[in-house]
Structure 1
Amino acid sequence: MRDELLTAIADNQLFLQYQPQMTSDGRSMASVEALVRWHHPEKGSIGPGDFTPDAEAAGVMSELGNWILRRACRDCARWPRISVAVNVSALQLRDTNFVETVVDIVREEGLAFERLELEIVESAVIEDFARASEALSRLRSLGIRIALDDFGTGFSSLTYLRRLPLDKIKIDKSFIDDLDKVQSAAIVHAVIALSRALGLKVTAEGVETEAQQRFLRSAGCHFLQGYLFSRPVEAAEIARRLAEPPPLA
């Protein structure tokens, strides 16, 4: 698997798709999330959930993560206005050269630091909280934004809201799926209110219906991401949509 993944990186078998993150009214694209795919010569297109665990086990997550970051920065530098969100693994965060690597890649690809957002999950900071927090603080001081992904699925998320250098949280899709249930709706409403009180932006993942959009907008959610607006698409499609005139009010 290690050799296969290294070959995939070297031979351009990997490619990125991007899922838009929209303003709550659904009219404007604020950013995109980069999602890696593997065009395997025998198995066809493979999603990240099917091979990133193998990349971690094979010890090539840093190489994979650096490839994703570089390609995402390169694509975003060609687009106007929007920012790009890139997922960061626990193994990347533990790398002693992580900050320097990120800074070098962003500068080499000509992207403004303010247009990059790094998404981390709670498990990525548990093992060495001090090191992770220090690394994220250094990146944030340059203008790179930090988002806590899959919020609500861990055990200590409120602690991290208080202690990590965050700009945004992303509410996990599992809560959005159950918005028609009183308990989930109350939790989502409370999380949005708490985040806004702390000065954090909020993105809801997995928005698939207009009813969910109405609820989240009325609750004060800043950004929405999901199939209601777009599936992940190629970089050229993002460029095409950005070139279109804005919809009429």
Structure 2
Amino acid sequence: MNHSAPATLADQPDLSRFADVRSWIFDLDNTLYPRHTNLFAQVDVRIRDYVQRLLDLPSEDAQLLQRDYYRRYGTTLRGLIVEHGITPDDFLEYVHDIDHSPVEADPRLASAIARLPGRRFIFTNGSRLHAEKVMARLGLGPEFEDIFDIVRADLLPKPHPDTYARFLSENAIDPTSAAMFEDLARNLEVPKALGMATVLIVPRGTEEVLAETWETEGSEGAHIDHLTDDLGVFLETVLSGIPAA
């Protein structure tokens, strides 16, 4: 890919790089399921409610603080730990106590992931239990070797470089033969610097997306190798170019 030009859905770069990938690393929320499922909106509301209850704030002030911590610390949880010294268990249990039924089974995605050569991982700033519930709804599970969640990350979220280092070390992954799939461009900067192929999952072209402005920043950066609005179709395209074992 010529990094002087941004990746676009209409102008995908050469996919041959994926022939050498042996570790496939997936974010969870808004990556393995599409953003329009709106599952994370439930989590967002419960985070706001938690902050409001914890700090005895009006709803609007709690939401502003939640957003501030999310942007500055990577997760609201990290901000609450640093600024207020909370312990994570109650927070994680409360904010992920949601209705997972909006996530629908995705046989096409499950089949594509199962056929990827090598090892598969989930690397999320959420909790393991939340990841397992999402995976069950999607029809995923045994294909993945590990779920590396925020607790495994010692509560230090992506995009902190130490968290990527911990993940790679614990799973003995060579980043130069890895690919990472994410819905936040800033979470792909470190992977690209380490030598991974990077894929940004973007909303469908006609979708109305309610997201923080900063969340969409960087999608045209040189650290993004590929863009896709359909992960299953993208993986099928990648697989079509990988010689059968």
- Give the TM-score normalised by the residue count of structure 1: 0.31
Structure with the larger RCO, 1 or 2 (CA within 8 Å, 6+ apart): 2
Give the strand-richer structure, 1 or 2.
Answer: 1
TM-score (norm: length of structure 2)? 0.31
